[in-house]
Structure 1
Amino acid sequence: MRDDEPGPTRPHPIELRSYRAVFELEYRIYRVQRWSLPLANGIALSTICWTMGAAVAMLLLRAAPLLGSALGALPDPLRYVALPAAFGVAMSRYRPDGRPLHRFIAAALRHRGSARCVDAFLASPAAEREERFVEAICICAGPSEQRYRSGCLGGPAVVALRGQAQIRGRPHGVELVAAGGQLRARPRWLTLGAGETLRVIGR
């Protein structure tokens, strides 16, 4: 049996084809009128854009107090040709998340400007946003509820206490300890201010 033949312990080779290079289009320049560029793969248009942007930045940085004097000490070919060209090549080859840098920056800005919470494909308020209702909301147990359930309630709120309980003060709120027994004929009202909490310890 040859080494390249599949055997009982050697799995069959699987060939995976990828057409990613076919659909990843990149604009390149190979010729300027009749003059062919001395590069086998040409030069990418993104490299030219990054290089021109770096050259313009060099011109603008000449007016900077400290950085301008440091750049002025460099020779003009190095300052306006070599450094911008090196910057353009580096930025065009840098691909975060497998995408060109300019597309990555555009996607990041679009993500920053888009809605964080979406409801039915429409922007909705964030989950931590505080909503104030015009009418009071009544939250109570069912008619068969005979005991307090453990939990925590934040103010502002008005609580009707019908069961027997022991109320103790605590920093920034009240603590309620269920005591059992019969329900009250008339509820005891407890008012919580803004920032106060009611901690219920059930039985």
Structure 2
Amino acid sequence: MHNHNYRYFMLNNLAIESAVRAAEKKTGLDFGHKEPAPSDQDESYYPQFSAQVREEAERMARNYVLFYSLENSIRDLIVDVLSEKHGEDWWSVTGVVPDVVTKSAEGNQKKESGTGVTVRSDRLIDYTNFGELGEIIKSNWEDFGSILRDKRAVERILANLNTLRASIAHCTALATDEEVRLHLSLRDWFRQQA
């Protein structure tokens, strides 16, 4: 079994866990997935926010976990596939990463290094955004064709997910329908795995 298959298995489990937690909350039953108690530091700050904002934040946190897992599993898939096909230094191989993606990642890395914060990674792929990951896959479809079923379907799924990502990444609540769409899009992504 390929390394990326394990990641998909784990991401699928996260989606199931999220659904179980939602069912617990909706039914009031306890299936053994209790949230950890907040730390003392949290308790000193949280009461300053309205109950509505805190409840919305908790709901959106589950969506963040799902999307974080998805986005990073796609990064790992890209690294695994392109390392296997083009060698460990695949990022530097001419034509593998679109120039616009390389320039964007390098710019993001340079901007971050100038802020004085801890550098997030030494891999340029970690400085790409979600849409750029899709561009890397599209430009290397011949390398991903044995793993992903249909190029147009993958493009559509990633575009839908990128649209949903904006609310998650920028701390605005997803409407209930959009949370459903997120879960359906995750299922669509998994169905594309060959």
TM-score, length of structure 2 as denominator length:
0.24
More helix by share: 2
TM-score, length of structure 1 as denominator length:
0.24
Task: Give the structure with higher Rg (CA).
Answer: 1
> Per chain length, whose mean CA-contact separation is higher, i.e. which structure has more relative contact order (CA < 8 Å, sep 6+)?
2
